Chains A and B, each alone.
Chain A
Amino acid sequence: MNGVPFTVERGTAASRVAGISALIVVAFLSTFPWWAESGWMREFNEMACYLIFAMMWNLLAGYGGMVSIGQQAYLGLGGYTLVAFGNFTTLNPFLAVPLGALAAMIAAFPISRIAFRLQGGYFAIGTWVIAEVLRLTIANISAIGGGSGTSLIALRGIEKATRESVTFWMCLASVVASVGLVYWFLRSRQGLALLAIRDNEVASESQGVDVNRTKLWVYVVAAFGCGLAGALYFLGNLRISPDAAFSVNWTAFSIFIVMVGGIATIEGPIIGVIIFYLLNRLFSDYGTWYLVGLGLLAIIVMTRFPKGVWGTVSGRFALHLFPVQRRLSIVKPDTEVKP
């Protein structure tokens, strides 16, 4: 069989439209600092951090099959690295943001040695214990404020408008970069290996996929993203405390965002964070009842609509804005060879 001529297609009409629309939206958002209220930018920054964090949780749980309840460990490390560099060195605090992400990434290597001893549900709670160890350790170090936390004093000399604009642009750029990073990762060979592992670990290993190495890569990339989210969040917040930085609520909200939006899709967390933002605006005054509602909604989505909003939509209309799958299409012999 010499074979039928074929090509491998990845893009779709929808993905090209979505790509152009996304560019327009990002271009529009980037003009915010010239005309928008600072309150809007602050809200955007906060949601950007939730989105990046949720995307990383999605990468781990949705694609890597590693359900973690302890990703706040890396968020806190990113935030505290920012504050430590900002307060104890003369480094520009904005430059300390990528260092925060990097520190979280480096920490992920030794931590994975412990966390990877556990699987499934035990991995989830084990990672939570690790986050608690970090929280309690930092709460006992008085140089960085102990249990009551500390302020990011490095930003004192910087003008308010400059600080707000730069922080906003960094958050926007980080969201774009994180979406790009996840998209690129999933389309790469490593990403294909990851999807194979998720679907069948033993079978993928027999096909030559290095399961442990791939899982480690995902874990480390996710730690980088969570560290980035933490550094950005506390850059905007100006104040950090162990209870805020290592709060399990980060993971709780990101689970909500991912499940409601649609797990194991790139579009899902983006839709999820918009829904989360709207619910937050409408109902957060109800305090505890609002949180009860979020918890119940997550349970209902998990048991009744496990694919979430985007999974349901894309399943029905075969819509993929960020296509990661490869589709074969037969090349039709247009010019028929005449006998």
Chain B
Amino acid sequence: MIGWMDTIVQGVLLGGLYALFALGQSLIFGVMRLTNVAHGDFIILAAFAAFTFAGPLNIGPLGAFVFLLPLAVVFGYAMQRLVLNGTLGKDPLPSLVVTFGLSIVIQNVLQEIFSADPRSIPAGELTTASVRIVEGIAVGTLPLAIFVIALLAAALLQWVFARTSVGRVFRATSDDRETAELMGLDARVVYAAATALAFALIALAGLLQGMRTTVAPTDGPALLLYAFEAVVIGGLGSFWGTFSGGIILGVTQAIGFRLDPGWGIWLGHVMFLVVLLVRPNGLFPKTR
């Protein structure tokens, strides 16, 4: 019994990381209906960038993040303005082809520079430190911290969207681009701002993924699928839904891994397909 409790607790913490992957995806899709196929590859790119900063400069993960964050925000803004804005429209083909192309480019450039070896970002004592909750269940400090960060990120996004003027601009542009533009908004700038915000989340997700486990150049697609599944399971329209979707996915995978290590990821995917079949609008559908 305590073993299963432990599995679920570890699954919830793993789900926190998935939620963090998913929040950026949810944000971009929510504001501009763009499905970013390279989402996972951007997370891996961020992890390798953090790895590059942290190593030679000897500044630790937090120091690396100080460098990474502004870089990612500028990168996201420029990416949207220069490349992705031109692909938006009713037809999903241009954005899918372009982001899929980016995915291939990122994977292979990373492989060329860093080789196919998996690496991780050294996090010092944080890697092994743990907290005991009850007798028999101990959780790693780092996974717990990641879970709390994801929780805070979801709360922050929800607050920004619901309560601030920036959020109102995002929602207005999402609901009706033409009318928002008539009111004086420049949708291209709004989209770029949303992507910049999403890239801040991507940078955070990449750093934490690199600290928690190892990253290899071709890991991106797997992360994309987890992020996507979390968004759909949760139901479009609220960041809390996305967060819950991540947790559900994490717990399902953890249960699967406990039953048989070969079937963990499989069970997560299958659970997603079952949700799709039974509740196509996700478990927590809500208009923002």
Contacts and interface: CB of A to CB of B under 8 A. Distances in A.
A195 interface: no
A126 interface: yes
A19 interface: no
Contacts of B63: none
Given A117-B277, A121-B34, A288-B111, A255 B97 contact: yes
B108 A136 contact: no
B138 interface: no
B276 A299 contact: no
8 contacts: A117-B276, A122-B232, A129-B273, A133-B269, A252-B104, A298-B101, A299-B83, A302-B98
A245 interface: no
B112 A288 contact: yes
Given A121-B35, A140-B262, A303-B98, A114 B104 contact: no
Given A128-B225, A248-B221, A288-B108, A121 B95 contact: yes
A68 B158 CA distance: 31
A101 B224 CA distance: 30
Contact of B102 (A132, A291, A299): A299
A140 B277 CA distance: 24
Which of A118, A121, A133 has the largest number of chain B CB atoms within 10 A?
A121
Nearest to B112: A288
A71 to B, nearest CB: 13
Interface in A59-96: 61, 65, 67, 69
A295 B111 contact: no
Contacts of A137: 266
Contact of A67 (B33, B92, B104, B263): B92
A223 to B, nearest CB: 17
A292 B104 contact: yes
Nearest to A256: B101
Contact-residue bracket for chain A: 35 or more
Interface of B: 29, 33-35, 37, 83, 86-87, 91-98, 100-105, 107-109, 111-112, 221, 224-225, 228-229, 232, 262-263, 265-266, 269-270, 272-273, 276-277, 280
Given A291-B104, A295-B108, A125 B262 contact: no
B21 to A, nearest CB: 13
A259 B262 contact: no
A120 interface: yes
Nearest to B36: A121
A113 interface: yes
A296 B108 CA distance: 11
A114 B83 CA distance: 32
Contacts of B103: 295
Contact of A125 (B91, B111, B224, B270): B224
B198 to A, nearest CB: 15
Nearest to B264: A136
Contact of B277 (A65, A114, A124, A132): A114
Contacts of B266: 133, 136-137, 140
Contact of A124 (B92, B105, B109): B92
A119 to B, nearest CB: 8
A120 B270 CA distance: 21
Contact of B228 (A125, A133, A252, A255): A125
A302 B89 CA distance: 14
A306 interface: yes
The 5 closest A-B pairs by CB, nearest first: A121-B35, A295-B104, A120-B92, A299-B101, A295-B105
B109 A292 contact: yes
Interface in A176-223: none
